[in-house]
Amino acid sequence: MRLAVLDIGSNTVHLLVFDVQRGARPEPQVDERFTMRLMRYLTEEEVISAEGRDLLLAAVDKLLDLARARGVDETLVMVTSAIREAANGEEILAEIDARMDGDLQVLGGADEAALTYLAARRWYGWGAGRLLVLDIGGGSLEVATGVDEIPDVAESVPLGAGRLTRAFLPHDPPEPGELAALREHVSTALEPLVQRVSSCPAPDHVVATSKTFRSLARLAGMSVDGIGPGERWQMSTSLLADWVPRLAKIPAEQRMELPGVTAERTYQIVAGAVVALATLRALQVPIVEICPWALREGALLRRLDQV
């Protein structure tokens, strides 16, 4: 069976196609994306502009056509916070839905956290014990913890790197007062989440997913041995703390010269780093492991369980 996942997120519209069968590891066949950074197209009234809408729908059309051309049996389309919370989100969702062959899934924040957690649980296996899973997207931060495949806590907080860059960091590089206001906002927003997570037993492994964490790990982490192809990374909270003020002093165009910082993330990596550091400190995490699987793989695995 060939399944596709189309993730319409705050930063990218991303298509993954897998050949799947029950009991086997999903085999990736297609990995294609368009960088959107939808937060750039939000007006002061929280409306996605006509330009942003047209670019988004054009990307969706191209990726759905690609999925059909590759003989996909089913496409799972997921929409996350940027469109979900826009004032004209329902109109855009209706236009996306009209283009599809299947059902459109509009994920709530807790759903995003639970699916990302499922992906990490399957990647690390039962032997990893209790997991704490962190994910920073463009619109929100997701946190989940548990020992089974359904987490005990799955929470979402509107602390995405794109959202916060737009709201708090209008200058490039950001001014000291802007950074101070951002740190205060993040700290306050994290308090209820930290209380809920801290009521659970301590994790055996703390795992981070998302491009933001992967980029930061290239700066403030190290490559470690792991099973399977590709590099595995860990990141130190203390090293990240050293990097945050340095990142904030570098203009966005120059940040792309740093390892792991890509063009689509360079404008929001400072806000992402502030959120990552505040979250790791608040949860008293000295080292975080970077997991290759995240939301899209979690959605695929859940659907495969239902087949």
Assign 3-class secondary structure to the chain: CEEEEEEECCCEEEEEEEECCCCCCCEEEEEEEEECCHHHHECCCCCECHHHHHHHHHHHHHHHHHHHHCCCCEEEEEECHHHHCCCCHHHHHHHHHHCCCCCEEECCHHHHHHHHHHHHHHHHCHHHCCEEEEEECCCCEEEEEECCCCCCEEEEECCCHHHHHHHHCCCCCCCHHHHHHHHHHHHHHHHHHHHHHHCCCCCCEEEEECHHHHHHHHHHEEEECCCCCCCEEEEEHHHHHHHHHHHHHCCHHHHCCCCCCCCCCCCCHHHHHHHHHHHHHHCCCCEEEECCCCHHHHHHHHHHHHC
Query: What's the pLDDT tens digit per position in 107-154?
Result: 889 999 999 999 999 999 999 999 999 999 988 999 999 999 999 999
> Which tokens sit at 99?
């283009």
pLDDT of 187 > 80? The answer is yes
Residue 90 is predicted with a pLDDT of 92
pLDDT tier at 289, thresholds 50, 70, 90: very high
Inform me whether the pLDDT recorded for 226 exceeds 70.
no
Q: Which two tokens stand for residue 43?
A: 């007006």
Q: Residue 103 pLDDT > 90, yes or no?
A: no
8 Å CB contact between 77 and 6: yes
Give this prediction's pTM. Answer: 0.92
| Residue 133 to residues 107, 112, 146, 152, 239, Cα–Cα distance (Å) | 18, 11, 9, 12, 20
For 27-86, write each residue's pLDDT tens digit: 889 999 998 888 889 898 999 999 999 999 999 999 999 999 999 999 988 888 878 889
Q: How confident is the model at residue 180 (pLDDT cuts 50, 70, 90)?
A: very high
Instruction: Output the pLDDT for position 305.
Output: 86
